[in-house]
Structure 1
């Protein structure tokens, strides 16, 4: 049985091997699985002398790119990317994603939207038939700080479930994103038509972005416990 870390590595390596070519502009996602993708990318750049430029989705991704001595760039220089490789907190049967458990959903969605293809890498625990089946921490929603309470109230009244302000663990008070915003986590939701719900959430004044990635991912790679990799399109 492969460990979860081994499963993450298997998925990450396969995605990088299949979707990154010479002269690629690559969006680098955030999270624990992406660490292995950057590791593999650095190996390929060194061994195959690839010319690859990387656009980060977060402070963490930027640090990974720098630590592995990969070429760092941004959307001002390269507004169109060949591929974005990123993780997910949950992936349903239609490739709808929950992202933002690490708080980077806004920049992740911006970079993914600029890529010709979004490729998801994850271990088998992130693969579900429907959202909320395995991931119980809720759908993250990045909000302007002054509006968090009205937004929380509006979501609970209109859509049901419970909405919690995400609190920081190593500081007093709420989590503050790389963009200076708060994060609400919407829990105990129903099985909705997610494109409609995503639009409805984004129309609430003060909502900056949601962690629902609908009709964005082209393919997902899941490392399995038996050491193989499952592909989902």
Structure 2
């Protein structure tokens, strides 16, 4: 596939996702980071007839995309405390069969997770290369955002969890030092063996707790998050927004008290120009 064909796959996925999930009656819409999101914003611009919609970016780059489209951005911390986003659109570096995602290739994972968990539904838009049966099949590492002072502690802890060679991500100019996020934190990219899904664990393919060298997605995410110095982990797993809402209404609560991390649907632009949609109910 040529670069042009891949970009066209992204565009078609974005158009379909916006057609299905963007409403001109929305009040707040989350806008993620990455190249695919440019096409999402273009599609929203074509369909939006409501100048009062406020768009919440996940970082500097996505805010510029919103502004260039003539739409109105609002900072995440300007949202009223009890307000949910109607929908959030974002990409992913890899998506597995259960819609768990790896995100953070663009170093915006902390704000991306804030926005995803604040949305009633997170819609993921990607090209066919991101569609894999298990996480860490094609994408090599888990991005982790860490406080600069803690990097050696975190690197050591990741090795103890089974990551063979975690690395601090360099900036565009290596001589300038590590890449810095919008929070002035660093990114550690940690390789692990391909991650098990919850179905894998239920089927007896592994305990998923690292004892046999195999980790289940959500279990590993929680273990990494417990390391002192870690701000956020680039694994988007657990509940999706619809499941989180049901839990809240049932009085069960969620870890964030708001929405879920996983998308309710993923739109993959395919090589042949079609769009493949996978939902949280798909097998």
Pairwise same-fold verdict (TM > 0.5): yes
Give distance in 1, aligned partners of 2:161 and 2:115: 30
**SS of equivalent residue, structure 1 residue 197:** helix
Aligned ranges 1:175-190 → 2 under 5 Å: 175-190=179-194
Query: Counterpart of 2:61?
Result: 60
Deviations 1:162-204 (A, max 9, x none): 2000001236100000001000000143422111111111111
Which has the larger strand fraction? 1
**CA shift for structure 1 position 158:** 2.5
**Secondary structure class of the residue paired with 2:161:** helix
**What is residue 6 of structure 1 aligned with on the other side?**
8
User: Is contact 2:168–2:186 with CA below 8 Å preserved after alignment?
Assistant: yes
**Residue 193 (structure 1) aligned with residue 216 (structure 2):** yes
- Number of aligned residue pairs: 230
* Equivalent pair of 1:23/1:50 in contact (CA under 8 Å): no
SS at match of 1:39: helix
The aligned counterpart of 2:114 is: 110
From 267, 275, 279, the equivalent of 1:221 is 267
Query: TM-score when scaled to structure 1?
Result: 0.94
Question: 2:15, 2:164 → 1: CA distance?
Answer: 37
Q: CA deviation at 1:208?
A: 0.3
Q: Which runs of 5+ in 1 are unaligned?
A: none
Whole-angstrom distance in 1 between the partners of 2:173 and 2:166: 22
Deviations 1:108-142 (A, max 9, x none): 00011000001000000000000111112x11000
Check whether the contact 1:12–1:34 (CA below 8 A) recurs between aligned residues.
yes
Provide the C-alpha distance between the structure 2 equivalents of 1:51 and 1:5, rounded to a whole number of angstroms.
Answer: 30
Question: What SS does the aligned partner of 2:79 have?
Answer: coil
Pairwise CA distance, 1:35:
0.5
Aligned with residue 87 of structure 1, among 75, 87, 91: 91
Q: Distance in 1 between matches of 2:12 and 2:91?
A: 13
Counterpart-to-counterpart distance in 2, 1:94 and 1:128: 10
Partner residue, 2:209: none
Alpha carbons 1:29, 1:108 under 8 Å: kept: yes
Matched, 1:124 2:128: yes
* Structure label with greater radius of gyration: 2
1:97 matches 2:143: no
Q: Is the 8 A contact 1:141 1:207 kept in 2?
A: yes
Would you say the 8 A contact 2:163–2:191 is kept in 1? no
Which contiguous aligned blocks of 4+ residues in structure 1 show a shift greater than 4 angstroms? 48-51
Higher relative contact order (CA 8 A, sep 6+): 1
Matches within 5 A, 1:11-90: 11-24=13-26, 25-45=28-48, 48-49=49-50, 51-75=52-76, 76-78=78-80, 79-90=83-94
Which one of the candidate residues 222, 227, 230 is aligned to 2:276? 230
User: Of the candidates 165, 168, 178, which is equivalent to residue 165 of structure 1?
Assistant: 168
Quote the RMSD (CA, aligned, Å): 1.5
